[in-house]
Structures are given as C-alpha cells and as structure tokens.
Amino acid sequence: MTKGGHRYRRGYPLAVLIGLEERRAVLWRVFSEVVKPDGTVEHGGEQYDFNESIVNALRPAFKEGVKSIVLAAPPRTDYAKNLLDHIRKHHAWLAREGPNAATFGELIGSAARPHEVRELVRTKAFREMIGETTSRDAENISAVLEKSLGSDESDTVVSYSLEQIEDLVYGRQEHNSPRPEHVVLTDKYLAGTKNRGRVLRLLQISKNNDIKTTIVNAETRAGIRLSQLGGLVCFAKPNRKKRSGGEAPRGA
C-alpha cells in the first residue's frame, strides 16, 4: 500500500461483475469509484469445468469479503441461468442464507469488453442492481451481528474498538485470544475517521492474514446498525486450540 493509502482512490470494493459469453467469462472488480478488470475464464469445452473455473476465479474476492456478484449476459441467452444452477447444485454454501452466502444479481447486457462495461455501469439498471446485491450482502452481515449480540450461546465474539481489533489482527493478545475472521466497517466511518492511516493498515494486514474485510454503505439497515456501534466491528471465533510454546501467534 502506498503512503497515505493512495491505492484507495479507487474507493472501496462493492462487487464482482461477470460478463458472460458463450465461450468465455470476463470478471471485473467493481469499486465505489472505478471498475477494474479481474481476469478472464475461457471455455475449455466442458460446461461443468467452465462453471467450476468461474467459481474458482471468484474465490479471491470471497476471501476478501466481497460477496456481491452481478452476472451480465446478452439477451435471449441462458448463460447466467446455467451458472446459477451450477452454483445451487454444486456450491450450495454460496446460495443458502448465512454468513458465507453470496448474493447474485442478473442483468441483460454485455460486459466482456471495456467499452461495454463503461456503458453498462452508467445505466440505472446497473446502479440499482449494485445497490440491491450489496444491501442483501450487508443484511447477511447484520444478521450475524444481531445473532452474536443477542445470544450468550453464540460462538462469535464481537469487538468494537479500533485498538482492540488491532490487538486481535496483529496478534498482540494471548495465544488463547479469539481468532479474528471478519472486519466490517461503514464507508462513512472510513471517510470520517481521524485514524484513516491506521484503519487502512488494519484492512491491509487483515487481508494479508486471510481475514475478510467488508465496507458497507452507512445508509443501509446494516450500515445504520454498525454506526450505532461506532462504525467498525470485528467478528472473531473463540480459540479453543492449545498452542505449543514455540508456535508464533497469528498476526502481522
């Protein structure tokens, strides 16, 4: 990351856009400020293998906490339907409700070439679809949050302060401290915090340590709830494993 967080001029991640064609799928990362290419999956001849390759190409985004997926396909084609049917059949964990679920939206249109994407992202339909999928994604996070706050039996530990979350992510606590799994914050918190440099470093170190990070719209129901809690939370799991004395704690 460059000094001052200049990489974040692209904004924060919102979704993955997939332009589906008969013989290939082109992936794009959708940020709040720009859309950037994210790879191409070629059809090798077998539809099952093609669909599996698309799912595998999405895994880095899922790992980073981006779970909003927009499928764009030309009119009178069944490319999007075929992919969604494959996901429901072979990757049910992505389709069913829960913290690991992804939200999928479908648009009619081409998104395989830069000029097509430029035209698509200007449309009202695209803006509405991004708003819908990211809102549903945020609702999944909100459901986990409320479950964790409302039950003493929840196996998720929620932390709210920047200092406490830094301790968890950087491995400053005891070996039996909770294991951070997901850092969530609102776009308003990121834009307004006086500790922006610390927060950007926290997000980068989280990603380096395979901890999911998600930035949600502060105006969504989930964003409003997060704002009530300060705008930044971390979900962690109790660490029930006993480490040997020579094993380094997880962290930066």
Amino acid letter, 117: V
Give percent of the chain with pLDDT exceeding 90.
48
Rounded mean pLDDT of 2-17?
65
The CA–CA distances, whole Å, from 230 to 71, 98, 103, 143 equal 34, 24, 26, 17
pTM equals 0.71
| Cα–Cα distance, 36 to 57 (Å, whole number) | 15
Residue 191's region, left for phi above 0, alpha for psi from -120 to 50, else beta, is alpha
The set of residues, in sequence order, having a beta carbon less than 8 Å from that of 176 and lying 6+ positions away, is 239, 242, 243
Kindly report, residue by residue over 45-71, the tens digit of the pLDDT.
Answer: 899 999 999 999 999 988 877 888 999
Range name among 203-207, 208-212, 235-239 with the lowest pLDDT average: 235-239
Helices 221-228 + 124-150 axis angle, to 10: 40
Q: What is the pLDDT of residue 4?
A: 42
pLDDT higher than 60, residue 22: yes
Residue 232: strand pairing partners? 185
Residue 185: strand pairing partners? 215, 232
pLDDT higher than 80, residue 8: no
Q: What is the pLDDT of residue 5?
A: 42
193 class by beta-carbon count within 10 Å (0-12 exposed, 13-18 middle, 19+ buried)? middle
pLDDT higher than 60, residue 155: yes
Pairing of strands 179-186, 68-73: unpaired
Give 207 or 117, the one with higher predicted confidence. 117
Q: What is the pLDDT of residue 98?
A: 61
Give percent of the chain with pLDDT exceeding 70.
87
Kindly report, residue by residue over 88-116, the tens digit of the pLDDT.
Answer: 999 988 877 666 678 899 999 999 999 99
Q: What is the pLDDT of residue 252?
A: 36
pLDDT higher than 90, residue 17: yes
How many other C-beta atoms are found inside a 10 Å radius of the C-beta of residue 9? Answer: 11
pLDDT bracket for residue 152 (50, 70, 90): low
Q: What is the pLDDT of residue 243?
A: 41
Q: What is the pLDDT of residue 197?
A: 92
pLDDT bracket for residue 6 (50, 70, 90): very low
Give the domains, in start order, of the chain with CATH numbers: 3-140 (3.30.420.60), 155-237 (3.30.1330.30)
